[in-house]
Structure 1
Amino acid sequence: MSDEMTFREIEFVRIFDAPRELVWRAWTEPDQVAVWWGPARMHTPRETVDLDVRPGGVFRVTMVSDENGAAFPSDMRYTRVDEPSVLEFEWDADRGLGAGRVTITLRDLGDGRTEMTNHYAGWTTDAIEPFMRQGTDQQYDKLRAHLRLRP
């Protein structure tokens, strides 16, 4: 296992029993992002969510550990916004984490269902990647639970 940062591309695909517009709003409305952002045992206080959903706009959130209160801020920027189908954001290397870009693509499957693809392209290490995969899966479990509660 290497501690060297290497460029990787990783995809996560989820199907949600929710219309695409609802999934889009879950990604673009601060009150909603605060509910589901972050892996298990983390929360994102609403006052830390700052979204300016347009190319060049900020995407800032701070995850907080439920166990010890440690804060993990993320300072990202939108690079592409094609409502209601594509959101893309990127960040620079920070806190030992590599720079990267995420492209979220929402595809309407009909019958009130949406396929969400998260394409990650960025720098990470062999040690960090499994935690990134686990955290992203947990975060999307929280998103799924949130969408089930939406009208």
Structure 2
Amino acid sequence: MDGKMIERVSDCELVVRRSFDARPGLLFMAWTTPDLMMRWWVPKSFGITVLSAEMDVRTGGGYRFVFAHPARAEPMAFFGRYLEVLPDARLVWTNEESAEGPVSTVTFTAKGDRAEVILHDLYPSKEALESAVESGSTSAYDEQFAELDALVLTLAL
């Protein structure tokens, strides 16, 4: 686990970079397989339980994740569409649970026997990104990527 960096690169864009001891294909699988995604996507410290994950991972397909939190009476759903799917290399998706959701792009690049993951979140406005930062939703990346790192190490065995 190393090489992680979270950076605001413009008024509307946040970029997260991290190196992993895994092949790009293994990381892509962890991002596109519902059972695997449920094991790492939600940081444990958030107290959120993943109830379901539906993923039709193809260009034009969609996804829907449903979460429960003890502070909420009703489950929360996060959903969107896949705008681009390039196996083992790139995913682009919308976050449609609110009008302020970003378009997210993740790339998986081989770097010797490691892989670099770069996640771009492009928000529709400066205010939308600032609101996401203030809400704490962008603070999850360190913990999420640590969970992903632990998961891919078990898959690589």
With the shorter chain as reference, the TM-score category is 0.7 to 0.9
Structure ranking higher on relative contact order (CA contacts 8 Å, 6+ apart) = 1
TM-score by length of 1: 0.82
Unaligned runs of 5+ in 2: 1-10
* Equivalent residue for 1:84, pick from 76, 88, 106: 88
Q: Equivalent residue for 1:105?
A: 107
Counterpart mapping for 1:27-106 below 5 A = 27-40=31-44, 41-45=47-51, 48-65=52-69, 67-68=70-71, 71-92=75-96, 94=98, 98-106=100-108
SS at match of 1:15: strand
> Residue 140 of structure 1: CA displacement?
1.5
Corresponding residue SS for 1:49: strand
Unpaired runs of at least 5, structure 1: 1-6
Q: Comparing 31-40 with 126-135, which one deviates more in the overlay?
A: 126-135
Among 137, 141, 146, which residue is 1:132 paired with? 137
The equivalent of 2:118 in structure 1 is 117
CA contact (8 A) 2:21 2:115 kept: yes
Counting aligned pairs with the same residue, the percent is: 26
Q: 1:104, CA displacement in angstroms?
A: 0.3
Distance change (3 Å), C-alpha of 1:127 and 1:136: same
* Residue pair 1:30, 1:51 contacting (<8 A) in 2 also: yes
Aligned length: 139
Q: TM-score scaled by structure 2?
A: 0.79
State the shift of 1:134 in Å: 1.0
Runs of 4+, deviation exceeding 6 Å: none
Q: CA deviation at 1:127?
A: 4.3
